[in-house]
Amino acid sequence: MTSTALTNVDYKYWQPQEPIIQKISDLIPEGSSVLDIGPGNFAFRRATHFIDSKSDLPNVPKDQLVVMDFNDKVLPYDNKSFDFVYCRSTLEDLQNPQMLLREMERIGKAGYIETPSPIAELARGIDWASPPFRGYHHHHSIVWAHEGQLRLIHKYPILEYFRFNEEDIIAWLREGPINWNTHFLWNDKINWVYRTATVDYDVTQDYAPMLKSAMDQTRVSSSLFWMGLRKPEIKQTLGSLTAAA
């Protein structure tokens, strides 16, 4: 029988995955201006500029780093000043992700967004030291992709009390990196929606079914994304990979 929580023995796919990094890097023409938003300990190797809330970051040249809290502030860049914007494991940390989404669209011509998947956020034992609660303790949003749209909802504590098929969730994560993260490529505009409780849904009645649907949609979108990475016939352009994903 499959267990209902990850343990310290399980490998956890927290770090950037090389096949994805390589494919995203291949999409960006040489000489492009590339902004990495929230590089943390894993700076994007093609980035020419960085912005983060911390100043002491490995592999980030200080003369290329802007330090600021961008949770609710305008980024200090001109409109469409970057050819590509890379944002990994940052959006879900913010109390106001809508602001950053608008700012990325304003300053960037294209980009890539990665966040933990709804499957990861609903799994028990996924965070550091495999705790019994669901997902990552410091995240504010659950994010997933479906039919070319990035979807966000607030991560409410009540999800601890919902019942899902826990064995399936853990089994999907143990398959490898494919279900661990949400992947989203965009051109010019970011097609996103943030659904708000009481306005768009009722937490007590609609939240659990919406999360279940988000997991199902994630399994489809992540599978398509990873299949796209492996197709050698895909042209090395952002638009073609976006269509494949």
pLDDT (tens place) for every residue of the chain, 245 residues total: 579 999 999 999 999 999 999 999 999 999 999 999 999 999 999 999 999 999 999 989 999 999 999 988 999 999 999 999 999 999 999 999 999 999 999 999 999 999 999 999 999 999 999 999 999 999 999 999 999 999 999 999 999 999 999 999 999 999 999 999 999 999 999 999 999 999 999 999 999 999 999 999 999 999 999 998 875 533 344 444 443 34
CB atoms < 10 A from the CB of 190, how many? Answer: 19
The per-residue pLDDT for 1 is 53
Question: Tokens 């705790």 — which residue?
Answer: 131
CA R_g for the chain: 18
Domain spanning 18-244, CATH architecture = 3-Layer(aba) Sandwich (3.40)
Residue among 105, 109, 81, 99 at smallest CA distance from 191: 105
Question: Tokens 């499957």 — which residue?
Answer: 119
CA diameter of the chain: 55
The order of strands in the sheet holding 181-187 is: 65-67, 49-52, 34-37, 84-88, 110-116, 181-187
User: Which residue type, as a one-letter code, is found at position 221?
Assistant: S
Domain ranges of the chain: 18-244
Q: Which is it for strands 181-187 and 149-154: parallel, antiparallel or unpaired?
A: unpaired
User: Which residue type, as a one-letter code, is found at position 153?
Assistant: I
16: DSSP letter: P
- Write the burial class of residue 66 (CB in 10 Å: 0-12 exposed, 13-18 middle, 19+ buried): middle
Q: Which is it for strands 149-154 and 49-52: parallel, antiparallel or unpaired?
A: unpaired
Does the predicted TM-score (pTM) go above 0.85? yes
The per-residue pLDDT for 234 is 37
Euclidean distance between CA atoms 174 and 123, whole angstroms: 11
